């Protein structure tokens, strides 16, 4: 079964063709990040306008890449079995572009439509690699808006078992990057700055910032205090000049990574999980990926760790196509509407 998937929840316009939930025939993503770098952050109105500009060329490019021998119209009519689209959560203007495009294609080409929850779909980034995770497993979703532990018993059968009580880990990266004067995209800018410090000081003990809730016997986290700690230290540092910006970035990254890995270990042990999925934009972070491998090597040798291929960590339509295949809730296009606050818990 081939699904045409559309993702427009924020500043990426992504279209993919995914076969049987695991094989990506194409995934084309356009980003308006350059524009947001100029304005110092995402202005929703600007993001939505860019979605309108990018959606048709991205759709055509994804179809042409997947089916080079036929035109886009024929590809849709003859080779696509269903259409999937991110219904939420996200920015309303951006979501509307993807949802209305999907509904139009559904009506014109007479295909079934599967609306998808973006947060749940991040987990399916891990199903695009071989081997796929085996149920049941613990998943950590770490994105710009979410930091959640999910116990996945099966497709469509899961429990939320913990998460951040305030800011998401990605949000913490983004807000602290702003305090550290790092450019957009902020999370990866912190990582680049931090990794530079670490490569130059491989033996540095990175312990300046608190590891929020690390000793609590649950799977909850809190990152807003970390942002306050960074802000305070940056102010003090303006007078004392004890730390370079790169060191502060490394300290921040370490506090977030140590917290995520510690809580992951607790959740994996508590659920005796044989597999673990770490996904979402922050799972692109190399320090986090390496720390998870170290956890496996040192404490959990039998654990099978699944982190999506780097292309499928940040927002992309391939994960939407995979999620739709494994959770095929067909809904009449007349009943599909974008929901910026769509819940996953
Ligand atoms: O999943 P995602 O692309 O979008 C949401 O659904 O939110 O995640 C975006 C988040 C942003 O906060 C971004 O700063 C963060 O992922 N991010 C990173 C890295 N790459 C992206 N955070 C840390 N290190 C990275 N390399
Ligand atoms: Zn996302």
The pLDDT profile of the chain, 345 residues, written as one tens digit per residue, is: 999 999 999 999 999 999 999 999 999 999 888 887 888 788 999 999 999 999 999 999 999 999 999 999 999 999 999 999 999 999 999 999 999 999 999 999 999 999 999 999 999 999 999 999 999 999 999 999 999 999 999 999 999 999 999 999 999 999 999 999 998 888 999 999 999 999 999 999 999 999 989 999 999 999 999 999 999 999 999 999 999 999 999 999 999 999 999 999 999 999 999 999 999 999 999 999 999 999 999 999 999 999 999 999 999 999 999 999 999 999 999 999 999 999 876
CA nearest to 159, candidates 147, 150, 169 = 150
**What distance in angstroms lies between residue 111's CA and the mean position of ligand 1's atoms?**
33
**What distance in angstroms lies between residue 186's CA and the mean position of ligand 1's atoms?**
8
The token pair at 316 is: 């992309």
CB atoms within 10 A of CB 293: 12
For residue 138, give the 3-state DSSP assignment.
strand
Which ligand approaches the C-alpha of residue 29 most closely? 1
The token pair at 11 is: 């500043």
Q: What is the pLDDT of residue 34?
A: 83
Q: 19 pairs with which residues across the strands?
A: 2, 23
Q: Does the beta carbon of 93 sit less than 6 angstroms from any atom of ligand 1?
A: no
**What distance in angstroms lies between residue 143's CA and the mean position of ligand 1's atoms?**
5
Contact 55, 102 (CB under 8 A): no
* C-alpha distances in Å from residue 273, one per residue of 137, 264, 282, 304: 5, 11, 22, 9
Question: Would you give the distance in Å from CA 269 to the centre of its chain?
Answer: 24
Q: Residue 284 and residue 28: Cα distance in Å, rounded?
A: 18
What is the atom index within ligand 1 of the atom nearest the CA of 146? 7
Q: Which residue has the tokens 């202005």?
A: 43
Q: Residue 77 and residue 111: Cα distance in Å, rounded?
A: 9
Sign of torsion over alpha carbons 185, 188, 194, 195: negative
Contact 60, 74 (CB under 8 A): no
Residue among 87, 121, 167, 173 to mutate when testing ligand 1 (max atoms within 8 A of CB): 173
The token pair at 286 is: 């190399």
Q: Residue 19 and residue 304: Cα distance in Å, rounded?
A: 25
The upper half-sphere exposure of residue 93, i.e. CA atoms within 13 Å in the direction of its Cβ, equals 13
pTM for this predicted structure: 0.96
**What distance in angstroms lies between residue 9's CA and the mean position of ligand 2's atoms?**
8
Q: What is the pLDDT of residue 40?
A: 79
Q: What is the 3-state secondary structure (H, E, C) of 160-214?
A: EEEEECCCCHHHHHHHHHHHCCCCCCHHHHHHHHHHHHHHHCCCCCCCCCCCCCC
Q: What is the pLDDT of residue 95?
A: 98
């Amino acid at each position: 079964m081939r699904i045409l998937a559309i993702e427009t929840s924020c500043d990426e316009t992504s279209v993919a063709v995914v076969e049987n939930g695991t094989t990506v025939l194409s995934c084309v993503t356009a980003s308006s990040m350059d524009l947001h770098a100029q304005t110092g952050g995402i202005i929703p109105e600007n993001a939505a306008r860019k979605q309108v500009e990018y959606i048709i060329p991205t759709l055509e490019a994804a179809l042409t890449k997947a089916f080079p021998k036929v035109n886009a119209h024929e590809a849709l009519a003859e080779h696509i079995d269903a259409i999937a689209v991110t219904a939420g959560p996200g920015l309303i203007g951006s979501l509307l572009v993807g949802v209305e495009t999907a509904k139009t294609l559904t009506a014109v080409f007479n295909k079934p439509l599967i609306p998808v929850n973006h947060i749940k779909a991040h987990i399916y980034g891990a199903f695009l690699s071989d081997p796929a995770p085996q149920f049941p497993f613990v998943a950590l979703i770490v994105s710009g808006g979410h930091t959640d532990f999910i116990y996945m018993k099966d497709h469509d059968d899961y429990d939320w078992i913990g998460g951040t009580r305030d800011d998401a880990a990605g949000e913490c990266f983004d807000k602290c990057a702003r305090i550290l004067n790092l450019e957009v995209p902020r999370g990866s800018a912190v990582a680049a700055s931090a990794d530079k410090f670490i490569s130059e000081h491989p033996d540095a003990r990175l312990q300046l910032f608190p590891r929020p809730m690390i000793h609590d016997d649950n799977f909850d986290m809190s990152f807003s205090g970390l942002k306050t700690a960074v802000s305070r230290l940056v102010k003090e540092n303006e007078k004392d000049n004890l730390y370079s910006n790169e060191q502060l970035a490394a300290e921040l990254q370490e506090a977030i990574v140590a917290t995520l890995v510690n809580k992951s270990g607790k959740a994996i042990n508590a659920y005796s999980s044989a597999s673990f999925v770490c996904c979402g934009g922050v799972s692109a972070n190399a320090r986090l990926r390496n720390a998870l491998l170290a956890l496996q090597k040192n404490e959990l040798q039998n654990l099978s760790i699944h982190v999506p291929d780097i292309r499928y960590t940040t927002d992309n339509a391939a994960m939407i196509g995979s999620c739709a295949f494994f959770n095929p809730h067909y809904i009449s296009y007349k009943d599909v509407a974008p929901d910026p606050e769509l819940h996953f818990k």
